[in-house]
Amino acid sequence: MASASKSPDSNVDDEFALWNYEERLATFAKHSWPFTVDCTCTPENMAKAGFFHIPSAMEPDLVRCFVCQKELDGWDPDDDPWSEHKSHSAKCPFLLLSKDIGKLTVKDFLALELKRQVARAEFFCKQELAQLKKEADVCRKELDKLT
């Protein structure tokens, strides 16, 4: 079963391009996704479920949703990307779409893009806050040594 994870940042140059299924799919080919044959979490199914591949040395199967920014790793071959996405991010606006992404109106698209940008801002703020807390802990320990 896939699990939630955090990465320092994405390797993707243009996150807006990830609206395009082919762009998300290409990230799996570029970084050698391990599940391609006789499994459920193929690159095609992962990209259809909104994920793109952002592997690291410690997390070679790390993916992120291009809308809600949820990161998951620890995939098993039989994991269903849609089910995993829903179980870890039930309120993801991409999952809650009532129509095919190719049939969105401009109004639908802009509403979803707004939600995507809010999620991205929250994601990066959380990363910065976590880094700030780490640095504060280091400073606190140094101050404790002085007293």
Instruction: List contacts with Zn ion (CB under 5 A).
Output: 65, 67-68, 89, 92, 94
As measured in angstroms, the least distance from the Cβ of 31 to Zn ion is 20
φ, ψ (nearest 5 deg) of residue 90: -60, -25
Question: In this complex, which beta carbon is closest to Zn ion, that of residue 93 or of residue 134?
Answer: 93
Question: In this complex, which beta carbon is closest to Zn ion, that of residue 112 or of residue 137?
Answer: 112
> What per-residue string of b and e applies to 13-47 under the rule 16 or more CB within 10 Å gives b?
eebeebbeeebbbbbbeebebebeeeebbbbebbb
Question: What does the angle CA 55 – CA 58 – CA 63 come to, to the nearest 5 degrees?
Answer: 30
Question: In this complex, which beta carbon is closest to Zn ion, that of residue 26 or of residue 68?
Answer: 68
Residues 61, 16 contacting (CB under 8 angstroms): no
Q: What is the distance between the alpha carbons of residues 4 and 35, in angstroms, rounded to a whole number?
A: 18
Question: In this complex, which beta carbon is closest to Zn ion, that of residue 90 or of residue 139?
Answer: 90
As measured in angstroms, the least distance from the Cβ of 70 to Zn ion is 5
Task: 121-128: list long-range contacts, CB under 8 Å, 24+ apart.
Answer: 122/69, 123/69, 127/6, 127/8, 127/9
Question: In this complex, which beta carbon is closest to Zn ion, that of residue 126 or of residue 134?
Answer: 126
As measured in angstroms, the least distance from the Cβ of 17 to Zn ion is 17
As measured in angstroms, the least distance from the Cβ of 39 to Zn ion is 21
As measured in angstroms, the least distance from the Cβ of 115 to Zn ion is 10
